[in-house]
Amino acid sequence: MIRNALNDKQTWLKHSWRRCQELGFDRNGQPVFYKAEGHSLKQLLEKNERLIDASKAVFQRLDKFLKNYHYRADLLDHEGYILHSYGGTGQADFLNEEALAIGTCWGENFRGTNAVSFSIEHKVPVSIHGNEHFFQENHVLTCSASPIFDESGQVAAIVNFSSRSTNIQDHALIMSMLAAEAIEHRLLTEHIKAENKWLIRETEALRSCHSKGVITINEDNRIIYANTEAKKLLGLDCVGTIFSSFQEGTVHATISGPSKSTHIIQSQSSVRKPYTFDRMIASCPKIKQAVHLSQKAAHTDFSLFIHGESGTGKELFAQSIHKASKRSDKPFIAVNCSALAEHLIESELFGYKKGAFTGADSAGSLGKFRAADGGTIFLDEIGDMPLPAQSALLRVLEEREVMPVGDHRTYPVDVRLIAATHRNLLEEIEKGTFRADLYYRLNEIVLSIPPLRERGDLLQLARHFLFTLSGHAQQFTSEAENKLLSYHWPGNIRELKNVVTQASFLADGRWLDIQHIKLPPQEQQIAASASSSPLPAAHTLEDAEKLLIEQSLRASRHNISQTAKQLGISRNTLYRKLKRYQLIP
């Protein structure tokens, strides 16, 4: 190949000279002086640091040859910029110093025909002597250049040996070829060593990761390998796509290599994280308002009362408020009051002294309030708390201290209280099952969480739950989504999550269809009868339209988004019709 290239040298030189003439160069004129400086030069040298280090070692071993034959050695990048030079003043006095300075470009567009530009253009070793250079200024030179190739076979750099044109040495070209090959070999050896280290680390890390997703990405952040678990998270066709750790999953560990990296990933659902506002799906106005009020409440220390049906996410809001508050680095203790035995609730909340009662722990107990000292205590379903415990709780809130069961001393506590219930506590007060003074003490800030049937983001929530289960591997059909929208979800978000989990389990392939959505039979019949019952007789088209809207509203439990979807109109159109027919206050 090299012999053929050298045979074509005269032809290629003519083409190069013609290009120079087309650029408007005059042989007797001056070459264009162009040099990278300042920040550009710094970036150039940093980018080629490995090349420069390898060339230094090689050029030093050629020191005797360079001195004895009065040659100068240069390393240039693939565009012809000088990166490093070796040779004393005696070897470099055949051309002005500026032209041979670090950062100067010897590309054909600047310096005309020369050995460096020729070797870059044709990817072969070459010697250019005297008047073979285009510019007369360069006729004082004899140069022998050889390309250095990277792992992909592209020209990465050029080695150039230069001297006076009267000092032509036949073996200069051979020496430049040997130098280029030695630098290339050094770079390849370093690359292989780095690859081996990376493979060893990867093998060690993967031994304990059989159940986790493993992907390898290249320098462009494109996935070049994914195991079965990773494909479950990212999709069966994820190889070849761009990987984004923030969108696709949680990066559990990373093993970095010279030109690629391996990531061990797992779905966000498998990593237990505290709830925060930025993790909430809050696209519907009612939830946005609840989040806004919660964020304001987080910056206060008032007691907070959250009202919402079971399964609406009351604890999610409580945790988010705690994490956004000044108490975020202190404990968050959640207590489900309805799950505690009535005779043990005070000892659970306020602790007990050693030997306070039969079966008590011999070391005693701090209790939930003292465990939450400095932080937040969340009392869920406080409406189920018995009256004696309510009295003790009110005393703790007023006095900011607790007295453990069986003890005669009190202990100061600094906690922020968040309480929640699905009950109507005003009705419970009327029944005598809840203390009015405790109710008003809890009601410093009140937050209402809307039920799922009043939210407009049901499908967004369902898709989110499905993604945490299967990544991109599964999706709902439009029929399945319509079935989800037709149900009024008395169990709210908790029930939706369970239904999606079951559907994901039942589906064998990518698509979750209508038969995979399992809803209580009686509820399906109610929804079906509401949507299929005949309209009463109407005298005009407007009467019929009004009756149809009324029926759809009843079927969707007055969910505007679901009603609009069922009628096939936009929410704005539905609102206009509701006003026209006086169906809203």
435: CATH: 3.40.50.300
Is the same domain home to 169 and 258?
Answer: no
* Per-residue tens of pLDDT for the chain, all 585 residues: 444 555 678 889 999 999 999 989 999 999 999 999 998 899 999 999 989 999 998 998 888 888 888 899 999 999 999 999 997 544 445 566 788 899 999 999 999 999 999 999 999 999 999 999 999 999 999 999 999 998 778 899 999 999 998 888 878 899 999 999 999 988 888 777 766 666 655 555 554 455 567 788 877 677 877 777 777 777 776 777 777 543 444 554 455 555 677 777 765 444 445 667 777 777 788 888 888 899 999 999 899 999 888 888 888 899 999 999 999 888 888 888 877 777 778 888 888 877 665 555 555 677 888 888 899 999 998 988 888 888 888 988 888 998 888 888 888 999 999 999 988 888 889 889 899 999 988 888 999 998 988 888 889 889 988 888 887 788 999 999 999 988 888 888 888 988 998 888 888 888 989 888 988 764 444 444 444 444 444 445 566 667 777 777 777 777 777 777 777 676 767 777 787 777 765
Q: Which of 380, 354, 357, 378 is nearest to 366 (CA)?
A: 354
The two structure tokens encoding residue 365: 């107990």
End position of a domain, from candidates 131, 154, 189: 189
Buried b (16+ CB within 10 A) or exposed e, 323-337: bbbebeebebbbbeb
Q: How far is 115 from 128, CA to CA, in rounded Å?
A: 5
Say if 484 falls within a structural domain: no
User: Is there a single domain that holds both residue 390 and residue 409?
Assistant: yes
* Residue at 320 is within a domain: yes
Question: What does the alpha-carbon distance between residue 515 and residue 421 come to, in Å, rounded to a whole number?
Answer: 35
Residue 7 domain flag: yes
Do 359 and 443 sit in the same domain of this protein?
yes
- Phi-psi label, residue 472: left if phi above 0, alpha if psi -120 to 50, beta otherwise: alpha
Q: Provide the pLDDT for residue 183.
A: 92
Domain membership flag for residue 196:
no
Q: Do 343 and 259 belong to one domain? A: no
* In-domain check, residue 389: yes
The count of domains in the chain is 4
Strand partners, 223: 217
The verdict on residue 84 lying in a domain is: yes
Beta bridge partners of 218: 260
Q: Based on the domain organization, do 176 and 65 belong to the same domain?
A: yes
Domain boundary among 435, 450, 465: 450
My answer on whether 161 and 20 are in the same domain is: yes
Please identify which residue in the block is written with the tokens 């299929």.
532
Domain for residue 243, yes or no? yes
Instruction: End-to-end CA distance of the chain: give it in Å, rounded.
Output: 89
Same domain, 336 and 408: yes
User: What's at 10, amino acid-wise?
Assistant: Q
Give yes or no: residues 19 and 99 share one domain: yes
Range(s) of the domain holding residue 568: 533-585
In a domain, 482, yes or no: no
Statement to judge: residues 248 and 329 lie in one domain = no
| 169/20 same-domain check | yes
C-alpha distances in angstroms, 525 versus 183, 481, 486, 519? 78, 18, 11, 10
Q: Which of 423, 450, 477 is the last residue of a domain?
A: 450
Query: Which CATH number covers residue 178?
Result: 3.30.450.40
Q: Can you give the CATH number for the domain in which 559 is found?
A: 1.10.10.60
| Per-residue model confidence (pLDDT) at position 520 | 77
- A 10 A CB-CB count for 570 gives 11
Are residue 266 and residue 285 in the same domain, yes or no? no
Residue 13 and residue 137 in one domain: yes
Burial 184-197 (b: 16+ CB within 10 A, else e): bebbeeebeeeeee
Edge-first strand order for the sheet with 82-86 is 82-86, 72-77, 155-164, 141-149, 126-129
